[in-house]
């Protein structure tokens, strides 16, 4: 099967089933990445634990949940971790409405390139995801993106591992970045 507009999702699903790779469609391009391991997965777990200990009732964390680009059935992204209304537990869909996303978390892989990261961050802003947390174990840094408008995030806050990550409403608490592992040299 060859990728072309209108069947990218079918191609992505076939690749994912055949290889076990995580497949996303960002801006009309198939993007494949290996399943997270070790410190990447540990970062996700540690963030999830902190969120779940402090979140308000009615919200929950999810992995392996994708977000579509509004108006484009062939364009979707799968964040490492996502916070949605708890009612997602009972939904038969696999694509969560971007307007329902309270927080998306991306942990940068060892092999990701700067352009890929910037493109993905921009994708979330265009889709209207309210808050995006990008954690980078390569350099021990994080960036919190807020206030998406006109395809860009207008609120940016960054820090190093060890600096608290202040999450905006509806969270209103901080995450401890000092517990996040860094990739080895």
CA distances from 83 to 11, 15, 99 (A): 27, 27, 11
152-160 vs 131-136, strand pairing mode: unpaired
Residue 71 has a pLDDT of: 86
Could you say which residues of the chain have pLDDT below 70?
Answer: 1-37, 115, 185
Q: What is the pLDDT of residue 15?
A: 60
Q: Which of 133, 172, 177 is nearest to 155 (CA)?
A: 133
Confidence at residue 6, expressed as pLDDT on a 0 to 100 scale? 58
Q: What is the pLDDT of residue 35?
A: 55
pLDDT at position 18: 64
Write down the H helix ranges in 20-147: 38-54, 114-127
**Cα–Cα distance, 93 to 114 (Å, whole number):** 32
């Amino acid at each position: 099967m060859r990728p072309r507009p209108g069947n990218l999702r079918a191609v992505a699903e076939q690749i994912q089933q055949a290889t076990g790779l995580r497949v996303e469609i960002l801006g009309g391009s198939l993007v494949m990445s290996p399943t997270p391991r070790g410190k990447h997965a540990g970062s996700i777990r540690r963030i999830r634990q902190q969120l779940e200990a402090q979140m308000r009732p009615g919200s929950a964390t999810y992995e392996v949940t994708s977000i579509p680009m509004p108006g484009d059935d062939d364009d979707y992204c799968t964040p490492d971790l996502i916070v949605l209304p708890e009612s997602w537990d009972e939904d038969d869909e696999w694509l969560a409405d971007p307007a329902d996303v309270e927080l998306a978390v991306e942990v940068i892989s060892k092999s990701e390139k700067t352009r890929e990261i910037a493109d993905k961050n921009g994708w979330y802003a265009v889709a209207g995801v309210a808050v995006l947390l990008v954690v980078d174990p390569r350099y021990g840094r994080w960036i919190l993106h807020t206030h998406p408008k006109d395809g860009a995030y207008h609120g940016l806050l960054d820090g190093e591992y060890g600096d608290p990550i202040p999450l905006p409403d509806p969270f209103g608490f901080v995450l401890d970045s000092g517990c996040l592992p860094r990739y080895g040299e």
